[in-house]
Chain A
Amino acid sequence: AQKVTQAQTEISVVEKEDVTLDCVYETRDTTYYLFWYKQPPSGELVFLIRRNSFDEQNEISGRYSWNFQKSTSSFNFTITASQVVDSAVYFCALSGRPTGNQFYFGTGTSLTVIP
């Protein structure tokens, strides 16, 4: 079955600190896709990053970076030099074939950046 676990319910950091959000997943799909979305207090879901199961290369995009490790079924997301505007709930999501294109979300991590 598809499952996403975000063990961190709430995190608080002081502005300019780095913060890593953890995501562990379970899937029986041979091809799968992992995503991170941000949900600010206004409620919309904003796409941040995506990773395919056949591409373990980790990248940096501005202040965002991610660490995808198939061996540990983890897809962690790091924000460097955090800013107050980063305060939001962050969701990790999983989809795959042949299960289907629908997303399975983790329970979310609420990040508060303190000025």
Chain B
Amino acid sequence: AAGVIQSPRHLIKEKRETATLKCYPIPRHDTVYWYQQGPGQDPQFLISFYEKMQSDKGSIPDRFSAQQFSDYHSELNMSSLELGDSALYFCASSNTGLADKQETQYFGPGTRLLVL
């Protein structure tokens, strides 16, 4: 079965640079989520999109932005990178459907970002 695809899998950037992470959800999934997992920590929710509209917002820094495109893939744009942004970034997708329907989130393999 098709899974969530994330690219790149590894990324090394310098401080103050920008980075763009891409996520391709499972086909027919309508919701995409972004999470950040620091070393030894649990994943923290950043932002989500349902049918290309932002649906929920978590602890996403103002330096970060995201969007979901017409083909349902999503991109997380990170600017003015800081050392503390070094983390594993997960994308997850689900088939949420109706507003009250909670479906299981399936996670991609993650993008490991290292900021030097």
Chain A residues packing against B (C-beta within 8 Å): 31, 33, 35, 37, 43-47, 50, 52, 91, 95-97, 100-108
Contact status of A33 and B102, CB under 8 A, knowing A43-B110, A43-B112: yes
Query: How many of chain B's residues touch chain A, expressed as a range?
Result: 20 to 34
B104 and A100 form a contact (CB under 8 A): no
Cβ of B72 under 8 Å from chain A: no
Whole-angstrom CA separation of A58 from B33 in the bound complex:
29
Give the residue of A33, A47, A52, A91 whose beta carbon is less than 8 angstroms from that of B43. Answer: A91
B96 and A44 form a contact (CB under 8 A): no
Whole-angstrom CA separation of A48 from B104 in the bound complex:
10
Contact with A along B101-112 (1 / 0, CB 8 A): 010111111101
- Smallest CB-CB separation from B3: which chain A residue? A44
B42 and A101 form a contact (CB under 8 A): no
Give the residue of A44, A46, A101 whose beta carbon is less than 8 angstroms from that of B102. Answer: A101
B48 and A101 form a contact (CB under 8 A): yes
Contact status of A103 and B105, CB under 8 A, knowing A45-B90, A91-B43: yes
- The binding surface of chain A is classed by DSSP as strand
Residues of B within 8 A of A50 (CB): 104
Contact status of A44 and B43, CB under 8 A, knowing A31-B100, A33-B102, A97-B100: no
Expressed in whole angstroms, the minimum distance between the Cβ of A110 and any Cβ of chain B is: 9
Contact with A along B16-47 (1 / 0, CB 8 A): 00000000000000010101000001111100
Give the residue of A44, A102, A104 whose beta carbon is less than 8 angstroms from that of B33. Answer: A102
